[in-house]
């Protein structure tokens, strides 16, 4: 979920710089075959390396709704069945890895859909966090909340400069689920995880690197994917079964904790989003988005006029 501060800053970036795009980046040009699970999740398999680039593709900000989560869960199943040699998770947006859970799934929710939505999120986490194949994240934009969660599930993270990442649930008055917390505790030092979680802190790229929340900084998306490939290639000489079982043994307590308490976790989520204060906060955000949507044509016209003015000024 997004903080109000992040929402305002982020939305200004969207409308004033017009950087968000729905284009899909085909970084690997050679030796690859493309398989599209559906329009929401794209899978490019490099036939030379065997690595799969999985691209979240729900413009403009890859907000996680039921349909996107279901598609991603299905892709993870396919990778497991096909004995994938490695997965790189990235985004088709030029400025957002994933903006987290879709606000429309949480505001005035239909409880039957909410059950499917949260169960799908649980499924994705279990499959990604406990995958038998090695994983890396090419974080090519902002990654708050659910975006940060999916990135941390991966074994290696490469991020572009000048973006932010973190679990910021407390800023909306929401407690991050224990499995969100477990993922962060598996990524950064325990004391720093506690501070980050209680403050709902978002970290800039440089700070995330110092903290260990990410492993490398890349110049651009292509460079990020290349660095992820270098990491995945390190496992080529390691017996696959030994590597997979070691990873899964290391993470099994976190996974078992959720698997043994999935219904209780769902009920806690119901309670959290049913809180009137949370619904009020979500309602303000929804109203804000609607206002921005109506203002978008005006903002684009102003941007266009500014461009003309600057062009004339340079000529003079």
Question: What is the DSSP pairing of strand 41-46 with strand 52-56?
Answer: antiparallel
Mean pLDDT throughout 180-193? 98
Q: In the structure encoding, which two tokens stand for residue 26, read together?
A: 């085909």
Residues that are catalytic: 101, 146, 168-169
Q: What is the mean pLDDT of residues 136-164?
A: 98
Evaluate whether residue 55 is within a structural domain.
yes
The predicted structure's pLDDT at residue 172: 77
Q: How many independent structural domains does the chain possess?
A: 1
Q: Is residue 307 part of a domain?
A: no
Q: Determine the average pLDDT of the residues in 214-238.
A: 97
Residue-range definition of the domain harbouring residue 205: 2-274
pLDDT at 148: 98
Answer yes or no: is 25 within a domain.
yes
- pLDDT over 70, % of the chain: 80
Rounded distance between C-alpha atoms, residue 253 and residue 260, angstroms: 10
135: CATH: 3.90.226.10
Q: How far is CA 66 from CA 59, 69, 88, 115, in A?
A: 15, 5, 22, 10
pLDDT digits (tens, 9 = 90+) for 233-279: 999 999 999 999 999 999 999 999 999 999 999 999 998 888 888 88
Residue 23 has pLDDT above 50, yes or no: no
Lowest-confidence segment of 174-178, 197-201, 241-245, 294-298 by average pLDDT: 294-298
Q: Residue 303: inside a domain, yes or no?
A: no
* Within-domain flag for 285: no
| Residue 88 near residue 131 (C-beta atoms within 8 A) | no
Mean pLDDT for the chain overall: 86
Considering the domain boundaries, does residue 256 fall inside one?
Answer: yes
Average pLDDT over residues 99-122: 93
pLDDT of residue 25: 26
Identify whether the C-beta of residue 168 lies closer than 8 Å to the C-beta of residue 200.
yes
128 burial level (CB within 10 Å; 0-12, 13-18, 19+): buried
> Among residues of the chain, what percentage have pLDDT more than 90?
67
Tens of pLDDT along 31-70? 344 445 569 999 999 988 999 999 999 999 999 999 999 9
pLDDT at 299: 62
251 assigned to some structural domain: yes
pLDDT at position 312, please?
63
CA distances (Å), origin 263, targets 1, 46, 176, 258, 278:
21, 39, 16, 9, 21
139 and 99 in contact (C-beta within 8 Å)? no
Query: What does the pLDDT read at residue 305?
Result: 66
Does residue 167 form part of some domain?
yes
Split at pLDDT 50, 70, 90, the class of 99 is very high
- Average pLDDT, stretch 201-216? 98
């Amino acid at each position: 979920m997004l903080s109000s501060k992040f929402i305002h800053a982020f939305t200004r970036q969207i409308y004033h710089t017009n950087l968000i795009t729905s284009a899909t980046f085909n970084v690997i040009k050679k030796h690859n075959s493309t398989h599209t699970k559906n329009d929401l999740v794209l899978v490019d398999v490099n036939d030379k390396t065997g690595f799969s680039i999985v691209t979240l593709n729900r413009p403009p900000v890859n907000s996680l709704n039921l349909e996107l989560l279901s598609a991603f869960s299905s892709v993870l199943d396919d990778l497991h069945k096909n004995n994938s040699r490695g997965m790189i998770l990235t985004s088709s947006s030029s400025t957002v890895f994933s903006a987290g859970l879709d606000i429309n799934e949480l505001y005035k929710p239909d409880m039957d859909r909410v059950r499917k939505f949260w169960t799908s999120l649980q499924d994705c986490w279990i499959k990604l966090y406990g995958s038998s194949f090695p994983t890396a994240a090419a974080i090519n934009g902002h990654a708050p909340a659910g975006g940060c969660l999916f990135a941390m599930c991966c074994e290696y993270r490469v991020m572009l400069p000048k973006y932010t990442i973190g679990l910021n649930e407390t800023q909306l008055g929401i407690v991050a689920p224990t499995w969100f917390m477990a993922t962060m505790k598996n990524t950064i030092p325990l004391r720093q995880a506690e501070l980050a979680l209680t403050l709902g802190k978002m970290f800039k790229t440089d700070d995330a690197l110092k903290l260990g929340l990410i492993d490398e900084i890349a110049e651009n998306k292509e460079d990020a994917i290349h660095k992820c490939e270098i990491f995945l290639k390190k496992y080529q000489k390691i017996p696959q079964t030994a590597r997979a079982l070691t990873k899964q043994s290391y993470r099994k307590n976190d996974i078992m904790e959720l698997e043994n308490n999935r219904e209780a976790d769902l009920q806690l989520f119901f309670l959290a989003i049913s809180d009137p204060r949370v619904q009020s906060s979500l309602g303000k955000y929804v109203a804000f988005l609607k206002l921005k949507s109506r203002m978008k044509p005006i903002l684009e016209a102003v941007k266009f006029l500014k461009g003309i003015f600057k062009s004339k000024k340079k000529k003079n």
